[in-house]
Amino acid sequence: MLTGSTIVRKSARHVACEFNGEVVMLQLDKGRYFGLQGVGTAIWNNLEEARSIEEICEDVAARFDVDPAVCRNHALKFLTSLREAGLIDVLS
Protein backbone atom coordinates (compact mmCIF):
# COMPACT_ATOMS: atom_id res chain seq x y z
CA MET A 1 0.00 0.00 0.00
CA LEU A 2 1.34 3.42 -0.92
CA THR A 3 1.44 6.24 1.63
CA GLY A 4 2.69 9.82 1.62
CA SER A 5 6.12 8.68 2.80
CA THR A 6 6.51 6.03 0.07
CA ILE A 7 9.48 6.74 -2.22
CA VAL A 8 8.78 6.14 -5.92
CA ARG A 9 10.42 6.74 -9.30
CA LYS A 10 9.89 5.87 -12.94
CA SER A 11 10.59 2.27 -13.89
CA ALA A 12 13.42 1.60 -16.31
CA ARG A 13 11.13 -0.78 -18.24
CA HIS A 14 9.33 1.85 -20.28
CA VAL A 15 9.83 4.37 -23.03
CA ALA A 16 8.06 7.71 -23.01
CA CYS A 17 7.71 10.78 -25.17
CA GLU A 18 6.26 14.16 -24.25
CA PHE A 19 4.57 16.27 -26.89
CA ASN A 20 2.50 19.42 -26.31
CA GLY A 21 2.12 18.67 -22.61
CA GLU A 22 0.95 15.08 -23.12
CA VAL A 23 3.04 12.02 -22.29
CA VAL A 24 2.74 8.78 -24.24
CA MET A 25 4.38 5.72 -22.69
CA LEU A 26 5.00 2.11 -23.63
CA GLN A 27 5.48 -0.40 -20.83
CA LEU A 28 8.04 -2.74 -22.38
CA ASP A 29 7.29 -5.96 -20.48
CA LYS A 30 3.55 -5.93 -21.18
CA GLY A 31 3.59 -4.01 -24.47
CA ARG A 32 0.88 -1.65 -23.24
CA TYR A 33 0.54 2.01 -24.21
CA PHE A 34 -0.55 4.76 -21.82
CA GLY A 35 -1.26 8.45 -22.27
CA LEU A 36 -1.14 11.20 -19.68
CA GLN A 37 -2.02 14.86 -19.71
CA GLY A 38 -2.50 17.71 -17.24
CA VAL A 39 -1.92 16.67 -13.63
CA GLY A 40 -0.93 13.15 -14.72
CA THR A 41 1.91 14.63 -16.78
CA ALA A 42 2.99 16.80 -13.84
CA ILE A 43 3.10 13.78 -11.53
CA TRP A 44 4.98 11.74 -14.14
CA ASN A 45 7.57 14.48 -14.59
CA ASN A 46 8.10 14.52 -10.81
CA LEU A 47 9.22 10.88 -11.01
CA GLU A 48 12.48 11.54 -12.85
CA GLU A 49 14.26 11.11 -9.52
CA ALA A 50 13.21 9.09 -6.50
CA ARG A 51 10.80 11.20 -4.42
CA SER A 52 8.25 10.68 -1.72
CA ILE A 53 4.61 10.87 -2.69
CA GLU A 54 4.27 13.74 -0.21
CA GLU A 55 6.96 15.72 -2.09
CA ILE A 56 5.22 15.05 -5.39
CA CYS A 57 1.88 16.19 -3.95
CA GLU A 58 3.40 19.40 -2.56
CA ASP A 59 4.71 20.29 -6.02
CA VAL A 60 1.49 19.39 -7.82
CA ALA A 61 -0.75 21.15 -5.27
CA ALA A 62 1.27 24.35 -5.65
CA ARG A 63 1.28 24.22 -9.45
CA PHE A 64 -2.43 23.47 -9.83
CA ASP A 65 -3.76 25.37 -6.79
CA VAL A 66 -5.45 22.32 -5.30
CA ASP A 67 -5.92 21.35 -1.67
CA PRO A 68 -2.96 19.15 -0.60
CA ALA A 69 -5.24 16.53 1.00
CA VAL A 70 -7.30 16.22 -2.19
CA CYS A 71 -4.12 16.04 -4.25
CA ARG A 72 -2.68 13.32 -2.00
CA ASN A 73 -5.84 11.21 -2.26
CA HIS A 74 -5.92 11.39 -6.06
CA ALA A 75 -2.15 11.00 -6.42
CA LEU A 76 -2.16 7.84 -4.31
CA LYS A 77 -4.80 6.29 -6.57
CA PHE A 78 -2.99 7.41 -9.72
CA LEU A 79 0.42 6.19 -8.53
CA THR A 80 -1.11 2.88 -7.48
CA SER A 81 -2.39 2.42 -11.04
CA LEU A 82 1.06 3.31 -12.43
CA ARG A 83 2.62 0.75 -10.08
CA GLU A 84 0.15 -1.95 -11.15
CA ALA A 85 0.96 -1.15 -14.79
CA GLY A 86 4.69 -1.59 -14.09
CA LEU A 87 5.52 2.05 -14.86
CA ILE A 88 6.94 3.03 -11.47
CA ASP A 89 9.15 1.37 -8.88
CA VAL A 90 8.54 1.61 -5.15
CA LEU A 91 11.84 2.09 -3.34
CA SER A 92 10.60 2.24 0.25
Domain count within the chain:
1
Per-residue pLDDT tens for 6-35? Answer: 999 999 999 999 988 899 999 999 899 999
CATH of the domain at 32: 1.10.10.1150
Average pLDDT over residues 57-79: 92
Full-model pTM:
0.91
Which structural domain, as residue segments, surrounds residue 54?
Answer: 11-87
Question: Is residue 2 one of the residues assigned to a domain?
Answer: no
Question: Is residue 6 one of the residues assigned to a domain?
Answer: no
User: Which residues neighbour 79 within 8 Å (Cβ) at sequence distance 6 or greater?
Assistant: 2, 8, 43, 53, 56, 88
Question: Is residue 3 one of the residues assigned to a domain?
Answer: no
